[in-house]
Structure formats: structure tokens, C-alpha cells
Amino acid sequence: MVNRQPVIAIIGAGIAGLEAARQLVALGYKPVLVEKAPAVGGHVAEWNRLFPDMSPAADLLDPLVAQTSGIKTLLNTEISSINRLKDEYNLVLSDGSSLLCQAVLFSTGFHLFDASKKEEYGYGIYDRVITNRDLEQWFNTRHDDRIGHPKAVGFVHCVGSRDVKAGNTQCSKVCCITAIKQAIELTEEFPDAEVYCFYMDLRLFGKKYEDYYIRAQRDYGIHFIRGRVSEVGEAIDGRVVVKAEDTLSGKPVKVTLDLLVLMAGIVCNPDAQYYAREIGVSVDDDGFLKSRDNLGAITESSRPGVFFAGACTGAKTIPETLAEARSAALAIHRYFSNPR
Amino acid sequence: MIYQGKQKIWADYQKEIPNDHWFYVRSCIRQNFFPASERYFLTICRDMLGRDIFETEHHTTCGGIAYHCDTIPQETAMTIVARQFALMTEAGYDNLVTSCITSFGNYTEILETWREFPELEEKIRESLWKACRREFKKPRYVAHASDLMYKLRGEIAERAKFLLVSRATGEPLRIVEHIGCHYAKMFPHKGVGGAEYPCVLSGMVESWGGQVIDYPERRHCCGYGFRQYHVKANRGYSLSNTHKKFESMEPFHPDMIITNCPGCPYFLDRWQYVIAEMNGKTYGQNGYGIPALTYEELAGLVLGVDPWDLGLQVHQVAVEPLLDKIGIPYNPARKYLGMDEKKIMTPGLPTVLKCC
Amino acid sequence: MDFGFKLSPSSAVNLDTVDLARFDKLTSLVPDALTCIGCGSCSATCTAAPWSGMSVRKVLLGLQRGRDEEVDKMLSACMLCGKCTMVCPRGINTRHLILTLCRLNQKGEVVR
Amino acid sequence: MRERFADAFHPFVLPFLVGIFFVLGYCLVGMIRVIAQLPKADRKRFLLTLITPKYIWMNVRDIFLNCLIHVKLWKRNKVLGYMHSSIAFGWFMLIVLGHLEVMLFVPHRIRFFYYPIFFNYFVAETEQTLPGSLLMFLMDFFLLIVLSGITLAIIKRFASRIVGMRRTTRLSLFDRIGLYSLWAIFPLRLLAESFTAHISGGSFLTIPMNWVFRQFLGNDLHELPTWWAYSIALCVFMCVLPFTRYMHIPAEMLLIPMRNAGIRIRHPRKGFASLEVYSCPSCGVCIDACPMSVRKANCKDATVYLNRMLRRGNERRIEEISDKCLLCGKCTAVCQVGVQGPELRVAQRARRKYALSPDFSEINVRPMASAVASGAGGKSGGVLYFAGCMTQLTPSIRRATTSLLDKAGVRWQMMDPDGGLCCGRPLMMAGRTDQARQLIAKNLEIIRASGCDTLLLSCPICYKVFREEYALDDVRVVHHSVFFQELIASGRLQMQREDELRLVWHDPCELGRGCGIYEEPRQALAAVGELVEAGKHHAESICCGGSLGSLTLSYEQRQPMTQNALDNLTLANPGTIVTGCPLCLATFVRAADRPVRDLAEVLDEHC
């Protein structure tokens, strides 16, 4: 039915959006990337090195950005509203203009859980408490007064994940391996530091993740304590006193740390939820966008012409996100090639 | 410590506290522990700040202790509480202010339960009617007396005769605030400032010139724990928890502890003597203890009430060093004189803990 | 003065003060000891366990939590039958681990 | 024959005299020390055997067969056998014949040590006599034999594969000196005797060489230096001998009588042990044999190196080698001298100091004892089956064993139905004998209580220790392979043979080399299918790599050993690998490409 070149709006120019755009171009379409940030790349652009091979994030991102540089990309552009026409969608953009498209691809990604909501951990209150993102940025910039030269560091897994009280019951999937990656990087940075990981379960499902875990144990001597941190206090010297239960010995443990890293979990991008409601795409009870079918059609919504890629439907690793972006591109291609 | 961080959280936990017209219910145990506190709460609110606070001799316990000791079912506690509400309704009030933290927790818990299970409320209304032919309206606002004091802290500051600063150095006093467990730990949104960083007391301290110190075991229970202290076999456990708090606050050298719960000031005060006897260890400056005051006593001091009228002589830990530090005048001779200016007996001195 | 009750010692483990000398020496001699994931296979299959509560997992944990008496009690129950070595999913040579540990004194020195 | 010199002396004999007295003195002192270091009981026992005709005969025979003829080596490798016996026996004969000559021609010189050695220098031939020329002939003959041996030795040194050895030991400096001086001795003797053959006479070897030399050597100036060289070579060899592997020559001559007397290793460095260490010829046969040496790994941990390190007192290596060993006993099986590598190591482990030792005194086995007692129902006799720790991990063995017992209608009961105590063998292997004794005492209590007359074991590790360390005189301790074979032989178990079933039997170390049980399991298997043999089998079977003997080998290090053992077992491409040890089973199952079963399982399926 491709009587004229259809317009495909891709909301969010993170790796999912960029990869999908790249594939769509390869398939002969002219997608439009809408990004509210001043630059493309999304979260990955903020990351330093990526598990499981410690490869620089730039190695992944730069080629992707280079190959999508020709594609029409609206930066600093938010979407004030979307409305559904017959078999088209009208995006009203923050600059007042509107974008009429035949297909919308949600590559809106995720939001990092706001760690300050877990008040007992004192993020934003104690000087020595930071998040996984803060640490990752420190790896990039080396500027963060909170870090200094720690002798004892703690990682708290599942901050705002698998936590009814935080309104997030699902597992954020990538935090365990991220914590291990960052713990290893910190140990390399500060070899004399004792590093503790407080976990509920270790979920190291991915390729090479387990080897990584073994290395963290044997080669880096990182201490893994099975138990959730209950509360954090501040000692007179400004260091943080962390309390948890070591559930394997059934004893409460207390440790004073120079740095506490909160592994903030992954929640759905609230903008995505808003857009979705506007065009009647349902949001799942975990807060992420609801696919037509979680097995066979994860990239397709219940609405014709609306597609998903990446973390907007749930926590994803980078390979998963890229794979979904590609399959979303194909789904869009199928959508335009087969007459409805 | 990032102060803005706390302010941000406090902003999320503000509760509406009406300015006037309160129905006051007392605590079961405070009158024995620090009798002047409740009295001066009324004096300050009514006489000094001209608020309308009503109380009736007909009110009883709220059943909180019995409930938390598992000696009565919640329905019983609810019926008792319903009766207090009836008294309030009959008196024509709909703001309830409690002197006791456990009562506050109990009232809050019951109202929340009724909100979730209206049929239960109906049942209680029925049993109250059967029991004493009374009916009640639920209070529009339930506050703890410390909430009200928090609300009035500004007015008190305006009338302040003394500020919580060292007269010698002009430095603000270092003050530990201790919040009763039942204040906000059950329902964070019912307490001023929430459960993790409550500002109900720290708010008073700051507006009266003091400096709040935050220490690792700040959140920890004072150790009273109804099931612990009341059973002698568990009393050591009760003591141990208090000890834990003192060990944790020791390096901060606090000038005083301020609390908003009946049990806490009592145990934080008396256990200092017991610990001193057991371990020979004291936590205040040169052999003294750390005075543990109620917020009413503190307000009284700020407003220039005579320490002995505030009943500070019934504290185990001597308050004189604190008074001297602030520069509050007092007459040592009057310390153990009763209302009738006749000498009540002078207590014997402990062997370790230094007292005056 | 006797009040009829006492201060009870805290059951909490203070990781700031735990002495890891023995554990560190052990892991320098048997690095695999670090790779324990506390699965409990060793305890489940242990021949000595029914008699003594022996558990290699708990031994390793106890060392890191400063519970030396428990550790020594468990060690002195081991019969070296080697079943734990057979079942360990991380392939830790638990017999070597135990024998090495038995050679260390509380200060973590190899006795000669 | 007449003497050439009235004083019957020449300075060139001095080096030889120095050497011979030194070596004899050294050995004498050594011998006395070894005997003195024996525990009292052992010493008494040993000295008694020296005057018991039966033992005397045994000793003489063994020394002759082993030290001179090297029969064991012949059986193993003809070339090596010839090489060794030619040198040893040939040299021995040269010495004997030398003395015969002296006694025959100049009897009054027999008291001179050097005379028989340098006979040809000191005498001149007057007339040819039959015995004379016969002796001369024999001398040349044996010299030729020895020389042939030496030639082989030289070839072996530079191309060991030719004589069928993959890896040999690297020689220490002293060993080299000893080796080269040994090589030198006999060619020099040949030269020396050839040079003097026109005076002293000679035979088919020396006479012609003498004639040849005389064609181009005008004078006799070179004669004396050669005799000097010969004497010096002897001196060097004998002086370095105590510090070389050649020490095994004298040591073995004491080792054999001691072993015949049944002396055992009690201390890793003293008495019998030191004798074994010195008896090691460091031929390196144990390197190839050692299951740990697969893929060129752990070559330096073979028994030959343990012996070398024990002689050098390199404590760190001694400890390392002692702890690593699987204690499979194969090195002893292939050793020409029979050095007991495992026993040496266990003795070494037993010397170790521990900060903490097991204590099982708390364990109360009365409940188990009364359980088996009531299980026996007051009746004495019957079979008590002890499954043991490892069988708990391989319940199939336990099921099959008990099922077979039922099929045979044997009255039996379990000793450890819900798990029991360890048999103590693993502790023994770790050198913790006293602790093992505690467990043994506890188990004895249970066994005694059962009143059984047979203790049945499906685990060779248990079997060995029950057999050797438990005082169960009135109770028969039997491994299930033997027990079931008897039941089959006596017809109480009827087997259906399955012709297309190809089975290979893996001899578990503890059962085969450990207890000498090889045939019964094979006979039993032959009753159910076609039995094929592994590449190496019986006493030379290869350890599965799972052995409890090793204290330090990691799982990764063991895997290639297991694989190697499996490759050896599957050479004849059997359908099923059968073993009689739960540990071997569990180890093989992980890596095998075909079914691995316990003997009991296979029998049970065909019964």
C-alpha cells in the first residue's frame, strides 16, 4: 500500500531509536527522530564502560550516531500531545509545529528510580551516598567530591526494584551485573578498599555474567552479603554506618563505609506513559508499555501503527534493546508492506 | 549531612494542624514520670498563648499499652477510643490532641483501620452504644501535643526569655531529638516530617536557637518496649537498647536530649543511672549525665518558667549544668521544696553518676 | 549494684572490627575459597553434619563474621570424607581448604 | 704365571684403594644408622631374619635376581633388562673371576684388595694353561658383555625412546660425574689390559687389540697412564657413588632383606624410609606411570623426585609433592626396587603440625549400635552391609547391592541406613591416623553390636581400611565384587549372559593395587557379558583422578587425568565401563562418553 513514502516518528533517540532508525533507512524509509534532550544517545551516552567486556560505551554509540547522522533528528523537542487520526498520528511538538506520521515507534527508554525516595538510605542527605549513575559519571569525568579515596565501599542492590513500598515490583535486571562491574572498576581504582555488595538475590543470567561474578569474588575479593540494607546513618566523621542482616548467618551486620552506592532500578519513562494514554495504548501494571503479546509481538502495541523498541516495555540489556530495535523496524516494514 | 535534602523530605511530610480548639487527652504514665509536663503544656497553650484546650476528668486510658502488650484485642481498644471520641463530641470539639505518643499511634491506627474497614467502625459504634449508650463523631484532626507545640514554636520563640545557646560561647546547644516510635513509624504521613527524618522536635530546637545532631542510632527505640521493660526477665534487653543509643550519640557530646514520648525521657534519664552503676560509664560532661527533657519542659525553660516548677528536680540526671550553660537562674535551695514550700525528701546520691 | 538484670551483648556483627587475618591467609593459600556462593550443598551432603552441625559454608561465613569458636567447633568435626568436594558447584577443593585452615592459628599463621 | 714386581705394588692402585675404602666405610656407617633408627620391635625382627635359614635363602635369591639379573626389568622391558643385568652381572663376574685368578695363580696376594682388580698389570704370563686361558677368555667375555651394556646405556641417554622410555629424570651434577666415570671404567680397563696383554696375556679381545696397538705404538709409555686412568675412574665412581643414584646398588642390598623381614615405613626420613629413598635408582619409570603426569603436567611430582628432594632436604617441595599425590600406588607397582611412594608421602603428611585437630569423642553411636543389634534380632551371623559416605552419593550402587543380596537370599542388614560415620580411610590418607583411630573405634562398636559374621563393603576405600586397620578377627571383611563372584560361582546368583554386551573393568586403586583384588570382578563380569581389557589394567590400571589421596589437586587439574583414564579404558571400545568404587563411578560419569556402572548394578540387571 506504500503509495507515498510513509512518515515514521521515532520518539526517543537512545540506542533503541537510533538502531531502529538505521534499520528503517536501510529498508528504504525516512524516519524522523524526536529527542527531548539536546543530544542523541540516551542513557548509554552517560555510561562509561559496558558489561560484560568492559568495552567503552563510546565504541558502541559513536558508530551508531555516525551512521544515523543523516537522519532527520529533532533535538530539544518534546511532544506536547499526540492524537490519533484515521490511520495516522499527529504529534504536536514543543516548538508548536506538528508532525503527521503513519507510524509511531516508542523508543522512550527508562527512567532511573529516584533513589532519594528510599529515605532510609539517605541519598541527597548523607554526603557519602551516591547512585550507580553518579558513579558512572565519575568514571567519565573524575569529578565528584563525594568519592575521594574510599577505604570501604558498599553497593546496595535493588534500590527501587522488587520493592512494593517503592511502587516497583519488577526486577530491573541489569543492576546485579552493573553493581559487579562497578565494584570491580572501583576495586581496580582503589585496590586497598574493601568492597561489599548487599544483595537480595544475585541474578546473573546473561552471557559471561557468572564468570564475571566469580572474578569479582576470587580476583577482586569483593564481599557479597546476602541481605538488604535496612537503614543508613551518619557517623561523626561523616562516614555512613550501614545496617543490614546477613541472612546466610542470620545475624545483623553493621559496617562503616566511606562510600555507599545505591543501585537505582529501572522504571518506565513517565512521558511514555503519558503519550501512550493519549493514543489509547495500554500501560501494563508494572508501569511499562503493554505489548500486544509478550512472547511473539513484544515490539507491537495493541494499536495499529504504534510500535515499541527497548526499555519502554521493561528493563532490557543493550543487546536485547538493539535486537528489539531491529525487529521493530521489520515489524514497521511488514506493517507498510502488507495491505490491511 | 545535606540540610536541603532533609528540608526536601520535610516538605513532603507536612500535616495540617488547626490553630485552636483542642480536646486534650492525657497519658497514663506521664503524670507519674514528669508530672509538670502536661500541666505546663496546658499552661503554655492556654495562659501564655491563649489557646482553647479542653480536657475532661472522664477520659480514660486509650488501651494502647494493653493493646501493644497483647493483653486486649483491638476491638476493645477501639471501643475505649470510641468513648474518648464520644466525650470529645459531647464537649463539642472535633480536634483531638493527645499527650501520649502511643495514644496518638493508637488513635491514628484505629482511624486508619476504620477507613479501610468501615464495617468495623459500625461494629464499634454498636458496642459503644451497648456499653454506655454513647455516640461519637470521628475527630477531624488528630494531633500529638508535640505537633501543636511545633505549630506554636514560632510564637514561643517570640516570647522566649532564653535561647538554646551557650551563654559563655554563644554557640548553639547540641541537642539530640528522640521521637517516640509510635509517632510516625507506623504512619509516616501522620507525623510532621515523616518517619525517617521527623522535624517535629528538630523544628522546635532550631526555632529556639539550638542545633540538632543526627547520629547513627537516632531512629532506634529508647528501649522501653512495653513487652520488654514490664517483664523483669527482659529488662536487660530494654536497657541494652538504651545503652546502644548512648554509645552511638556519645562522640557527638550532646548537651541534652529532647523527646516527645512518655516512656522515652524516663528511660533515657533513668537508665543513665543504671548504666553508670553497671559499667561505671557516664555520657555527659565531667561525670554528669545527659539531661533528657520533654518538649514541654524545654518550652517552659525557653519561656522562662522556673526549673523547679517545671519539675526538673524529678529527673535522675542533674539539669543544673545545662541550666548554667544556658544561663537560666535557679535557686538550689528550692530544688526539693514542695508546692507548700516545705521540704520533700532529698534523694540519696548515686555512687557513679554525678548529681547535684 | 545488682539490679537483677544485665546489659546483653549485641548479636550484631560489626564488620569494622572483625579480624579477617585467618580468612585472608586462607584465601591467599586457597583462593577458590572466595568463590563460595553459600549454596549449602556441602552442608547438605556432609557426613559429619548430623553429628556436629558441620558446614563448610558456615565455616567460610563464620571466618568472615569473626565467629571463631563456631568455626573451630565445626572444623574439629570434619571427617575429611570428601563428599563436599564432590558436590561443590564451584569446584572448590574443600578438603584442601579444611586441612589448610586447620594448620592456621587464630592469628592466621601456619603452625610449624 | 709369575709376578712382575717383587713388592707387588704400584702407586696407581692408590686412587682405587681410596675409593673402595671410602665407599665401603660410607655404606657400613649408613647401614648401622638405618638399623639403629628402626623402632625396637622392627630391629629385633629384622636381625632375627638374618640368622633364619629360610630368610637367608630368600634374601640371597632376591638379591641375586633383583640386583644382578634385574628380572623385574626383564619382564618389563627386554632392552633395559639386558642393559642393566649385563652391566651389573657382568661387573660382578669380572670381580669374582678376578679373585679366582688371584687364588689360582698368586694365592698369597689375595689379601690385597687391589690385586684382583689390576691382576693383569701385576703378573706376566709364563706358559699357557687351560684354566688360565679359560679364565682369560671369561674375563674378556664378561668385559665384552659389560661394554655392550655400557653402549646401550650411552644410546639410552641420548635417545631414550629407542629403549621405550618417554620421560627420564634430569640428572644432577653428581649423577653425571658418576655416570661418565662409570662409562669410562670399562673401556679404560679394556685398553689397559690390551696394552699389557703381550706381558700378562689375554684372550680373544685383548690379544688382537694389543697386536693392533703395537703396529703403530712404538713404546709402552702409554701403558701406565691407562692403568692410572682406569684406577682413577674407579676411584671417582666410588667416591661420588654415595651422592648419586648409584647409591641404590648398595642400598637395595639392605632393602631386600628388610622388606623380606616385613619392615614398614614409620617415619618419612628415618630407618626403612631412608633406605627406600636411597634405593631409588631414579630411572624415572614412575614419571610415565604417574596418572598426574598426563599432558606433561606434574612431572616433577613423581616419586623419583620425592626421593631426590628427601635426599636434598628441600622441605617446600617435599610438602608439595607429598600433598599433591593421588596415592594410587602405581609408581610402586612399576618400580623396579618397589619404592613405596604413597607410604612415604602419608608418613610425611603425618609429620605435619596442626593448630586444630578433629575430635570425635562427642559422637554417640549407641543408637546406631542398638539399631543394628535389634536389626539382627538377637541372631548372630549374617551380613552387615556398610554403604559408606561415597555410596550415599551413588544410591544406585546401594540399591543394586541390597537387591542382589535379596536375590541370593542372604540374611543381611544395613549398618548405615541413614548415613553413618566415615570409615577413617580419608583421615589416614591425610596422615591423621590418631583421629582415624577414633572413628575406627566408633564403627567397631556398631559392627560388634550387630553380631554379624560378614562385613560387606561396596566401597574399596572403606574396604581397605576395614581390612587393614580394624581388629575384626572373627568378622569377614569382603568387597562386594568378591562376595557376589562367590555367590555366582556357588550358583546362588544365576546370571543371564548378554553376548553383545562388551564390558571393561576399571581396577580401582584401593581395590586392585590396594588390596590385590583383580580377578573376582572380572570373573563376575565374564558371567554377564564379554569382558575386554583396558590399555593398562590390573596392577597398572590408571587412577580415575578423583582419588581422596590428593589433598591439593584442584578440580581443573584432575579433569585431564580422568579423561586420560577414560581413554585408556575405552581403547577396546567397550559398551559399558564397569568399576567397583563409588568415587571412581562418580568421577567417570561426569566425563565419560558411554555408560559407567558399578559392578553391582550390572550384575543386578542380569540376575
Residue B153 lies in a domain: no
Question: β-strand A129-131 against B256-259: which pairing, if any?
Answer: unpaired
Question: β-strand A223-226 against B22-25: which pairing, if any?
Answer: unpaired
Taking only the tens place, the pLDDT of each residue in D75-105 is 888 888 999 999 999 999 999 999 998 998 8
Residue B355 lies in a domain: no
Spatial separation of the C-alpha atoms in residues D513 and D587, rounded to whole Å = 19
Residue C20 lies in a domain: no
Question: Among the listed ranges C23-37, D127-141, D417-431, which one has the minimum average pLDDT value?
Answer: D127-141
Residue C23 lies in a domain: no
Chain B residues touching A233 at Cβ < 8 A: 214-219, 248
**Side chain identity, residue B265:** P
The Cα of D65 is separated from the nearest Cα of chain C by a number of Å equal to 42
B309 in helix, strand or coil?
A: coil
Domain count, chain D: 4
Spatial separation of the C-alpha atoms in residues D407 and D403, rounded to whole Å = 6
Place B18 in a pLDDT band, splitting at 50, 70 and 90.
very high
Residue D7 lies in a domain: no
CB of C89 within 8 Å of any CB in chain A? no
Statement to judge: residues B120 and B228 lie in one domain:
no
Q: Which domain holds residue C50?
A: 36-102
Chain C residues touching B232 at Cβ < 8 A: 4-5
pLDDT of residue A1: 44
Asked if B232's CB is within 8 angstroms of C1's CB, the reply is no
Spatial separation of the C-alpha atoms in residues D437 and D433, rounded to whole Å = 6
Residue B102 lies in a domain: yes
Asked if A223's CB is within 8 angstroms of C64's CB, the reply is yes
**C-beta pairs of D85-93 under 8 Å, 24+ apart in sequence:** D85/D149, D86/D145, D86/D146, D86/D148, D86/D149, D86/D152, D87/D146, D87/D149, D87/D150, D87/D153, D88/D249, D89/D145, D90/D142, D90/D143, D90/D145, D90/D146, D90/D149, D91/D142, D91/D146, D92/D68, D93/D138, D93/D142, D93/D145
Partner-chain residue, chosen from C72, C75, C99, that has the shortest CB–CB distance to D551: C99
CATH number of the domain within which D412 lies: 3.40.50
Statement to judge: residues D303 and D161 lie in one domain:
no
Domains and CATH numbers, chain A: 7-109+269-337 (3.50.50.60), 115-266 (3.50.50.60)
**Nine-digit cell at A279?**
493514543
Residue C2 lies in a domain: no
pLDDT of residue D284: 86
C-proximal residues of B, 278-337, CB under 8 Å: 278-279
**Nine-digit cell at A191?**
585496590
Asked if B240's CB is within 8 angstroms of C8's CB, the reply is yes
Spatial separation of the C-alpha atoms in residues A218 and C30, rounded to whole Å = 10
Residue B191 lies in a domain: yes
Chain C residues touching B229 at Cβ < 8 A: none
- Examine the fold and report which residue of B88, B115, B145 is the final residue of a domain before the chain moves on: B145
CB of A248 within 8 Å of any CB in chain B? no
Partner-chain residue, chosen from C1, C4, C7, that has the shortest CB–CB distance to B243: C7
Statement to judge: residues D227 and D260 lie in one domain:
no
Residue whose grid cell is 603426569 = D293
Residue whose grid cell is 512494593 = A164
Residue B347 lies in a domain: no
Partner-chain residue, chosen from B1, B8, B216, that has the shortest CB–CB distance to A241: B216
Q: Which domain holds residue B72?
A: 17-145
Residue D537 lies in a domain: yes
**Nine-digit cell at D537?**
589394567
Statement to judge: residues B230 and B118 lie in one domain:
no
Residue D42 lies in a domain: no
Which of A153, A201, A229, A246 to substitute to test the interface with C, most C CBs within 10 Å?
A246
Do B13 and B192 meet the contact criterion of CB atoms below 8 Å apart?
A: yes
CB of C54 within 8 Å of any CB in chain A? no
- Complex prediction ipTM: 0.87
pLDDT of residue D371: 92
Residue B11 lies in a domain: no
Spatial separation of the C-alpha atoms in residues B174 and B257, rounded to whole Å = 9
Which of C35, C93, C107, C110 to substitute to test the interface with D, most D CBs within 10 Å?
C93
Statement to judge: residues B121 and B194 lie in one domain:
no
CATH number of the domain within which D300 lies: 1.10.1060
Statement to judge: residues D314 and D421 lie in one domain:
no
Asked if B235's CB is within 8 angstroms of C7's CB, the reply is no
Statement to judge: residues D192 and D125 lie in one domain:
yes
Residue B51 lies in a domain: yes
Using the predicted structure, report yes or no on whether residue A339 has a pLDDT greater than 80: no
Is the pair B, C in contact (3+ CB pairs within 8 Å)? yes
Residue D26 lies in a domain: no
Do A234 and A241 meet the contact criterion of CB atoms below 8 Å apart?
A: yes
The Cα of B1 is separated from the nearest Cα of chain C by a number of Å equal to 22
pLDDT of residue C8: 87
Is the pair D, B in contact (3+ CB pairs within 8 Å)? no
Q: What is the DSSP letter of D126?
A: -
- Averaged pLDDT for residues B40-46: 96
Chain C residues touching A243 at Cβ < 8 A: 12
Spatial separation of the C-alpha atoms in residues A36 and A18, rounded to whole Å = 14
Question: Among the listed ranges A125-139, D84-98, D210-224, which one has the minimum average pLDDT value?
Answer: D210-224
Q: Ramachandran region of residue B327, left (φ > 0), alpha (ψ -120 to 50) or beta?
A: left
Domain count, chain C: 1
Q: Between the CA atoms of A231, A234, A239 and A244, what dihedral angle is there, to the nearest 10 degrees?
A: -20
- Examine the fold and report which residue of D297, D324, D350 is the final residue of a domain before the chain moves on: D350
CB of C8 within 8 Å of any CB in chain B? yes
Statement to judge: residues D263 and D324 lie in one domain:
yes
Strands (E) located in chain A: 7-11, 30-34, 49-50, 55-56, 72-74, 79-84, 89-93, 98-101, 103-106, 110-112, 129-131, 152-159, 194-199, 223-226, 229-234, 240-246, 251-257, 259-264, 266-268, 306-308
CB of C40 within 8 Å of any CB in chain D? no
The Cα of C12 is separated from the nearest Cα of chain B by a number of Å equal to 11
- Examine the fold and report which residue of B114, B145, B176 is the final residue of a domain before the chain moves on: B145
Percent of chain A with pLDDT over 90: 95
CB of C64 within 8 Å of any CB in chain D? no
**Nine-digit cell at B11?**
516538605
The Cα of A128 is separated from the nearest Cα of chain B by a number of Å equal to 9
Partner-chain residue, chosen from B232, B236, B277, that has the shortest CB–CB distance to C1: B277
Q: Which domain holds residue D102?
A: 51-247
Asked if A217's CB is within 8 angstroms of C65's CB, the reply is no
The Cα of C1 is separated from the nearest Cα of chain A by a number of Å equal to 31
Give the residue ranges of DSSP H helices in chain A: 15-26, 57-67, 132-141, 175-189, 209-218, 270-278, 318-337
- Buried-state track D523-537, b at ≥16 Cβ within 10 A, e below 16: ebbbbbbbbbebebb
Residue D318 lies in a domain: yes
Statement to judge: residues B170 and B308 lie in one domain:
yes
Place D581 in a pLDDT band, splitting at 50, 70 and 90.
very high
Give the residue ranges of DSSP H helices in D423-551: 425-429, 433-450, 460-469, 480-489, 512-515, 519-526
Percent of chain D with pLDDT over 70: 99
Partner-chain residue, chosen from B9, B214, B216, that has the shortest CB–CB distance to A119: B9
Statement to judge: residues B184 and B310 lie in one domain:
yes
- Examine the fold and report which residue of D350, D377, D393 is the final residue of a domain before the chain moves on: D350
- Examine the fold and report which residue of B145, B179, B202 is the final residue of a domain before the chain moves on: B145
Using the predicted structure, report yes or no on whether residue A18 has a pLDDT greater than 80: yes
Cα-to-chain-centroid distance, residue A319: 13
- Examine the fold and report which residue of D350, D375, D391 is the final residue of a domain before the chain moves on: D350
Residue B152 lies in a domain: no
**Residue D496 burial (C-beta neighbours within 10 Å; 0-12, 13-18, 19+):** exposed
Residue D17 lies in a domain: no
**Side chain identity, residue D429:** M
Residue whose grid cell is 540374611 = D411
CB of C67 within 8 Å of any CB in chain A? yes
Statement to judge: residues D469 and D517 lie in one domain:
no
Do D479 and D457 meet the contact criterion of CB atoms below 8 Å apart?
A: yes
Residue C84 lies in a domain: yes
In chain B, the residue whose alpha carbon lies closest to the alpha carbon of A118 is B196
Statement to judge: residues D457 and D512 lie in one domain:
no
Is the pair B, A in contact (3+ CB pairs within 8 Å)? yes
Do B52 and B22 meet the contact criterion of CB atoms below 8 Å apart?
A: yes
Using the predicted structure, report yes or no on whether residue D553 has a pLDDT greater than 50: yes
Taking only the tens place, the pLDDT of each residue in D53-82 is 999 999 999 999 999 999 988 988 888 899
CATH number of the domain within which B285 lies: 3.40.50.11810
Statement to judge: residues B174 and B130 lie in one domain:
no
Domain count, chain B: 2
Do A249 and C62 meet the contact criterion of CB atoms below 8 Å apart?
A: yes
Spatial separation of the C-alpha atoms in residues A20 and A23, rounded to whole Å = 5
Asked if B244's CB is within 8 angstroms of C10's CB, the reply is yes
Output the CA torsion sign for D323, D327, D328, D334: positive
Asked if C35's CB is within 8 angstroms of A249's CB, the reply is no
CATH number of the domain within which B33 lies: 1.20.1050.140
Chain A residues touching B196 at Cβ < 8 A: 119-120, 122
The Cα of D184 is separated from the nearest Cα of chain C by a number of Å equal to 47
CB of D216 within 8 Å of any CB in chain C? no
Residue D531 lies in a domain: yes
Residue D470 lies in a domain: yes
CB of D41 within 8 Å of any CB in chain C? no
**Side chain identity, residue B236:** G
pLDDT of residue A61: 96
Q: Between the CA atoms of A127, A129, A134 and A136, what dihedral angle is there, to the nearest 10 degrees?
A: 130
Question: β-strand D530-532 against D502-506: which pairing, if any?
Answer: parallel
Instruction: End-to-end CA distance of chain B: give it in Å, rounded.
Output: 36
Statement to judge: residues D90 and D207 lie in one domain:
yes
B-proximal residues of A, 87-116, CB under 8 Å: 116
Using the predicted structure, report yes or no on whether residue A5 has a pLDDT greater than 90: no
Q: What is the full per-residue pLDDT of chain C (112 aa) written as tens digits?
A: 888 899 988 889 999 999 999 999 999 999 999 999 999 999 999 999 998 889 999 999 999 999 999 999 999 999 999 999 999 999 999 999 999 999 999 999 999 8
Chain A residues touching B8 at Cβ < 8 A: 116, 124
pLDDT of residue D43: 94
Query: The whole model's pTM is what?
Result: 0.88
Statement to judge: residues B224 and B202 lie in one domain:
yes
Statement to judge: residues B126 and B172 lie in one domain:
no
Do D2 and D126 meet the contact criterion of CB atoms below 8 Å apart?
A: yes
Statement to judge: residues B167 and B279 lie in one domain:
yes
Using the predicted structure, report yes or no on whether residue A2 has a pLDDT greater than 60: no
**Nine-digit cell at D590?**
561426569
Chain C residues touching D429 at Cβ < 8 A: 80
Residue whose grid cell is 521515532 = A10
Do A110 and A42 meet the contact criterion of CB atoms below 8 Å apart?
A: no
